[in-house]
């Protein structure tokens, strides 16, 4: 039987619950489709940091490299470990080391889910640059604690990374409704975003069949609320994409519905699948986290592994549950109830 090796990193807070939920659905879908998922769980988290002094072992990246894919819950427990330590010690190095340069985040309403907007017919694919930009980690602080203190955070935009993410966006637009929105702030940022616009214009010449529109990030934020149906593929830098995809999550009913895939399109290293949301310390241990974002992310993993049939079955099961109102109102159903409903629909 065909088998895939999956690294499971549940992480912190609700990451643990939603990963367990997603794994139960994915393994059942695999069995139904005639292949196996072999999971290896890594306890890398803020608790692991407190025990060992590191978010993952020194050979963590080398260990993960052997897997077919990574399924991650959420990382971060800010009252115990600063986010700047936990995220830069685990999540962000995985994205960067494995050149998972395309962070794909779909935003649409699942059957039975009422978002906060009157418009319900939107289907947006946000594609976020995932390796550099505002997340480059370049900078420093001088004269700390004095009135002369200065902090510098340098965004780095390379032609390689800007070109490949925009090209990825053009290709996705071509497969969808042929529209690409490129998001910058080139009215205020003179170098990086003007450069991004220039690369967009260069590539547009290669994709005459794709309709390209440039938007400033502020205007895009408003458009996603006022006219989400006007958007198809939206490409943005690391930070802008981060912010827009929590907005995307909101218009699709909440963070419990927002899935994401960190893709290495060249397949030179494993890709990673995780919900958009974090560890949600405010609801951790209450058993009410919505696992749908994690399960949907798992469906994206199956698709990436080439198991489109099983991915479709998982999405069908999610929507069979939500169409009956299970998991559609935040806090109304337990994580276990929502998972059970998806599992039952898969049968």
- Please select the residue that binds ligand NAD; options are 224, 255, 261, 321, rule is CB under 6 A: 255
Selected from 245, 279, 297, 333, the binder of ligand NAD by CB under 6 A is 279
Considering only residues 285 through 324, tell me which ones interact with ligand NAD, judged by CB under 6 A.
Answer: 289-290, 293
Task: Name the CA dihedral angle for 10, 12, 15, 20, rounded to a multiple of 10 degrees.
Answer: 50
CB of 193 to Mn ion, least distance (A): 20
**315 binds ligand IPM, rule: CB under 6 A:** no
Site stretch for Mn ion (CB under 5 A), options 30-38, 80-88, 235-243, 319-327: 235-243
Smallest distance from ligand NAD to CB 310, Å: 23
Residues in CB range of 263: below 8 A, 6 or more apart: 100, 101, 102, 103, 104, 271, 304
- Site residues for ligand IPM, 250-279, by CB under 6 A, read 276, 278
The encoded tokens of residue 243 equal 């912010």
Whether 258 and 244 have beta carbons less than 8 Å apart is answered as no
Q: What is the largest CA-CA distance in the chain?
A: 66
Residues 134, 159: Cα–Cα separation, whole Å: 15
Among residue numbers 57 through 96, which ones bind ligand IPM (CB under 6 A)?
76, 87, 91
Number of residues assigned to the chain: 347
Q: Which stretch binds ligand NAD (CB under 6 A): 203-211, 279-287, 298-306, 314-322?
A: 279-287
Quick one: CA torsion of 324, 326, 329, 330, rounded to 10 degrees?
-170
Closer residue to ligand IPM, CB minimum distance, 124 or 276: 276
- Minimum distance between the CB of residue 273 and ligand IPM, rounded to whole angstroms? 12
| Residue 62, H or E segment | helix 60-65
274 binds Mn ion (CB under 5 A): no
Half-sphere exposure of 105 (CA within 13 A, CB side): 32
Round to whole Å and give the CA distance between 303 and 116.
Answer: 29
Q: Which is nearer to Mn ion, 242 or 274 (CB)?
A: 242
Stretch that binds ligand NAD, among 1-9, 28-36, 76-84, 162-170 (CB under 6 A): 76-84
Residue with smaller CB distance to ligand NAD, 7 or 203: 7
Cα 132 to chain center, whole Å? Answer: 15
CA distances from 64 to 26, 199, 269 (A): 20, 33, 9
- Binding test (CB under 5 A) with Mn ion, winner from 242, 274, 307, 319: 242
Rule CB under 6 A: say whether 242 interacts with ligand IPM: yes
Among residues 7, 29, 74, 234, the one that binds ligand NAD under rule CB under 6 A: 74
* Residue among 72 and 235 whose Cβ is closer to ligand NAD: 72
Interface residues toward Mn ion, by CB under 5 A? 242
């Amino acid at each position: 039987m065909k088998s895939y090796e999956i690294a499971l990193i549940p992480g912190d807070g609700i990451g643990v619950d939603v990963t367990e939920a997603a794994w139960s659905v994915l393994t059942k879908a695999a069995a139904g489709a005639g292949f196996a998922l072999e999971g290896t769980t890594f306890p890398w988290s803020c608790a692991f940091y407190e025990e060992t002094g590191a978010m993952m072992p020194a050979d963590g990246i080398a260990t993960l490299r052997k897997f077919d894919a990574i399924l991650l819950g959420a990382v971060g427990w800010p009252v115990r470990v600063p986010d700047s330590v936990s995220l830069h010690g685990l999540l962000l190095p995985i994205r960067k080391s494995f050149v998972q340069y395309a962070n794909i985040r779909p935003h649409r309403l699942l059957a039975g889910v009422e978002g906060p907007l009157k418009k319900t017919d939107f289907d947006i694919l946000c594609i976020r640059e995932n390796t550099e930009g505002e997340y480059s980690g370049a900078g420093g602080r001088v004269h700390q604690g004095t009135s002369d203190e200065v902090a510098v955070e340098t965004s780095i935009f390379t032609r390689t990374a800007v070109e490949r993410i925009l090209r990825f966006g053009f290709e996705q637009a071509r497969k969808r409704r042929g529209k690409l929105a490129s998001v910058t702030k080139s009215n205020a940022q003179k170098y990086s975003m003007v450069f991004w616009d220039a690369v967009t214009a260069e590539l547009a010449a290669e994709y005459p069949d794709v309709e390209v529109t440039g938007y400033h990030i502020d205007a895009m934020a408003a458009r996603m609320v006022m006219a989400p149906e006007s958007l198809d593929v939206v490409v943005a830098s690391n930070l802008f994409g981060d912010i827009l995809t929590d907005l995307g999550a909101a218009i699709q009913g909440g963070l419990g519905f927002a899935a994401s895939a960190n893709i290495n399109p060249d397949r030179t290293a494993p890709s990673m699948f995780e919900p958009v949301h974090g560890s949600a310390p405010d609801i951790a241990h209450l058993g009410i986290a919505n696992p749908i974002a994690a399960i949907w992310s798992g469906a994206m993993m199956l698709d990436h592994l080439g198991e489109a049939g099983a991915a479709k079955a998982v999405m069908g099961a999610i929507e069979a549950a939500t169409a009956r109102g299970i998991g559609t109102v935040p806090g109304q159903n337990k994580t276990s109830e929502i998972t059970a409903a998806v599992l039952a629909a898969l049968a």
